[in-house]
Amino acid sequence: MKPEGLFLVISAPSGAGKSTLIRMLCREFPDFGFSISYTTRQPRPDEVHGREYFFVSRDEFLELKAGNFFAEWAEVHGNFYGTPKDQILQSIDQGQNLILDVDVQGARQIKENINRGVFLFVFPPSLEELRNRLKKRGSEKDADIDRRLENAVIEMLANGIFDYWLVNDDIDRAYEQLRSLVLAEKLRPERNPGLPQKIAAGKWF
């Protein structure tokens, strides 16, 4: 029996530091992969079909959606994005570790459609700090920041589906907590099948 891969689903309000934590995790644990999503938007010049995304037409996407192809999907700025369900399940069953970076709505869909994985929500230490982080980006107007803060409150109050909560008040401390979560999850029996038999047979070393 193959060990089951670790499927880590991470959500957070914009500006909470989720992307930074994921980059740090992947540097230390390069065995983590990413599911390739489908989208109806046009590819950018440096993007390759099947590498960054699977680029499909709107009709193709809607046909796949009607066939329950996606573990989660959303419409963003007029374009559809979706994560294929079978790709996730096959990867996990083959022992591949996966990270999925989605919003709370996407995490809820995955919980309902797959009900497998470890679900983590990353909090900012406060709304004031979140506002400061968004302002430091220098890429959004005050009205856009206000809208993101409103969405952040909604997301933070609707996170009962998550297995773990993490507050990113200090990036190094937050990463150590994320790292500890991953190390602990790797010790679950489903990720070490046959371990008792190996040790009993003297074949562990």
The span from the CA of 134 to the CA of 16, in Å, is: 9
Q: What is the pLDDT of residue 141?
A: 82
Give the pLDDT confidence of 50-98 residue by residue, as tens digits. 988 999 999 999 999 999 999 999 998 789 999 999 999 999 999 999 9
Q: How would residue 1 be classed by pLDDT, with cut points 50, 70 and 90?
A: low
- Asked whether the CA dihedral 101, 102, 106, 112 is positive or negative, the reply is positive
0.75 exceeded by the pTM? yes
- The residue that leads in pLDDT, 2 or 149, is 149
Amino acid found at 178 = L
CB 122 within 8 A of CB 166: yes
Give the pLDDT confidence of 144-153 residue by residue, as tens digits. 888 889 989 9
Closest by CA to 32, choosing from 47, 10, 13, is 10
If you average pLDDT over residues 35-50, what whole number do you get? 91
Q: What residue ranges do the domains of the chain occupy?
A: 7-192
Q: What is the pLDDT of residue 183?
A: 96
Q: What is the pLDDT of residue 83?
A: 95
Q: How would residue 100 be classed by pLDDT, with cut points 50, 70 and 90?
A: very high
Q: What is the pLDDT of residue 7?
A: 96
**What is 7-192's CATH number?**
3.40.50.300
Q: What is the pLDDT of residue 41?
A: 92
- Return the beta strands (E) in 77-138 as ranges: 79-84, 97-101, 118-123
List strands edge to edge, sheet with 70-76.
53-55, 37-39, 79-84, 70-76
60: exposed, middle or buried (Cβ count in 10 Å: 0-12, 13-18, 19+): middle
Q: How would residue 142 be classed by pLDDT, with cut points 50, 70 and 90?
A: confident
The span from the CA of 93 to the CA of 113, in Å, is: 16
Average predicted confidence (pLDDT) for the chain: 91
If you average pLDDT over residues 16-44, what whole number do you get? 93
Residue 168: how many other CB atoms lie within 10 Å: 24
If you average pLDDT over residues 36-59, what whole number do you get? 92
